[in-house]
Amino acid sequence: LNSARTGRMGDIVRTIQADQDRVIRAPHRGVLVVEGGPGTGKTAVALHRAAYLLYEYRELLARRAVLIVGP
């Protein structure tokens, strides 16, 4: 946390495609599985979705446990 930021997250945000953005911003309906081939951005999409949901649905999710499983 004390080290300088690299700007890498900004690089990732700039490369998000429209279909990935739709997955990130899809309404909260429970479990969502993100599938795709190697290098398609699954992890980046999943983490952006988690951040989006935790922000947009903060009142609902504050009362629940949140689990993120990944590689």
Question: What ranges do the domains of the chain cover?
Answer: 8-61
Query: Which distant-in-sequence residues (6+ apart) come within 8 Å of 30 by Cβ?
Result: none
Q: What is the pTM of this model?
A: 0.72
pLDDT digits (tens, 9 = 90+) for 33-43: 888 899 888 98
22 Cβ partners below 8 Å, 6+ apart? none
Q: pLDDT value at position 3?
A: 61
Cα separation, 47 vs 24, whole angstroms: 9
The predicted-structure confidence for 5-62, as pLDDT tens digits, reads as follows 665 656 667 788 999 999 999 998 888 888 889 988 898 899 899 999 989 998 888 8
